[in-house]
Amino acid sequence: MKNDGGTRVVVIGTGFVGASYAFALMNQGIADEIVLIDANESKAIGDAMDLNHGKVFAPKPAVIRHGDYSDCHDADLVVICAGANQKPGETRLDLVDKNIAIFRSIVESVMASGFQGLFLVATNPVDILTYATWKFSGLPQERVIGSGTILDTARFRFLLGEYFSVAPQNVHAYIIGEHGDTELPVWSQADIGGVPIRKLVEAKGEQAKEELERIFTDVRDAAYQIIEKKGATYYGIAMGLARVTRAILHNENAILTVSAYLDGPYGERDVYIGVPAVINRNGIREVIEIELNDDEKNRFHHSAATLKSVLARCFTR
């Protein structure tokens, strides 16, 4: 049973992403209890053992164990990392059919436990599967969150920081839209230390515009490059999931670019998509509607339309 007053996070799927996420939770002392569930129970048992052996070095003691769907009953957060992985040459949207069926089974099993917490979805295509989790669970939209473009935004800030030789924490810029090929950078609102990036680019000359466009291409295609080199991406997204988890469990009201349900903001409805949103203990408190220029608006609507075309095939609208 969960300790009174403690926080329980259930991780479903202990592959590269799920195990890395649990490791990040332990290292940062974010949760009081971490429960690991995997279709391969032996894998979950082994991961729990391995993590526990490092617990003496962690900043805060936590209960770490393998479990089953009954443990979701009084969990604060269920994080889904299970599903088919993206292979070399596959887009994230290519994974839809495989993972929709997997998610139906997982979400129905979680809800059968009496779960009343929040879902956080990491599996790709994350926007589609977050929508699926919302549909299958019957929970209010604000209690189902996808990792969205949190990793894309982190990659963007890192590469811009390298380019301008400043710490990425001082780069304020967003990637929004689908976590995938139609995502877009919001150049019009990007700044470093309060100075708009467009002004910094003007000072560097015409070549800088081409270099910044290459930076965005590297952000958009980063997963393809990493998968080609090592087979999967997991450290970056694990850290991103840990950041969202901290915002939830610590009731931070932090603004993060997650996959949130839109019902009017940005002129879009009935779609989960990556946008800045305020995250706290109740999930998504509100979507932040940043001002976009005409080109960014068109690209965002194209991204949403791409997701909706997939949803139309998978769900009765």
Helix, strand, coil % in the chain, rounded to nearest 5: 50, 20, 30
**Cβ within 8 Å of residue 276, ≥6 positions away:** 174, 176, 255, 256, 257, 287, 288, 290
Q: Beta strands 191-192 and 171-172: pairing type?
A: antiparallel
Enter the tokens of residue 41.
């129970």
H/E stretch holding 298? helix 294-314
- Cα 59 to the center of its chain, rounded Å: 24
H/E stretch holding 274? strand 269-280
User: Rounded CA gap, 117 and 133, in Å?
Assistant: 13
Catalytic residue check, 172 = no
Please pick, among 53, 66, 73, 179, the residue that the annotation labels catalytic.
179
Which residue numbers are catalytic? Answer: 179
